[in-house]
Amino acid sequence: MTAQPVIRISIDPTWIDAYGHLNEGYYLVAFSEASWPFQEHIGLGETYTRKTSNAIYTVESRISYLREVTYPADLTITNHLLGAQDKKIWSAHVLSAAGEECCRLERISLNYNQASKRVAPFPKDIFAELSCFSEVIAPDWVRLENIFSKPRRQNSPTSVPAKEMHDRLQNRP
């Protein structure tokens, strides 16, 4: 399987706030812009939508700001498909500037059929491809592990097996 794509984006000057750095909302804009080539790479791009009437909708995001980004800057965004289930994908994205990680995004997205207006399973051939792209172990900074069976790194102090997390969530009041 080919490597996950690295996307390069130049900051638009309108994304800079009064403090001279990238406004917090535009980190998400940059991640969103990088999502299109990433989705195309893993088989969920415009061709997929035209053929199936399915689209990928983000339903949960977790963003961590690590370092300030000032203008001018060229951003590099790396994308990782961490897992796939019959109707959803789990991905992690890292935004870097000048070779340093500045922001991380973890995302859960659903396969949504635009004709039926409902979440739908991935076609079998697409699901098989997604499984090939999935990372074996999630980076140690991801937290949305409770819906996927992929384990966190064993040396992570917050490591909880997915089944145990699922059971905890099912039993809460």
Number of domains in the chain: 1
81: closest CA among 132, 122, 120? 132
Average pLDDT over the chain, rounded to an integer = 83
**Residues above pLDDT 70, as percent of the chain:** 77
> Does the global pTM surpass 0.85?
no
Residue 145 belongs to some domain of the structure: no
User: Would residue 157 count as lying in a domain?
Assistant: no
Please give the residue range of the domain that contains residue 77. 6-136
Residue 63 lies in a domain: yes
CATH number for position 82: 3.10.129.10
Calpha distance 89→98 (Å, rounded): 29
- Cβ burial of 72 (10 Å; 0-12, 13-18, 19+) is exposed
- Of the pLDDT bands very low, low, confident and very high (cuts 50, 70, 90), residue 83 is confident
Q: Is residue 141 part of a domain?
A: no
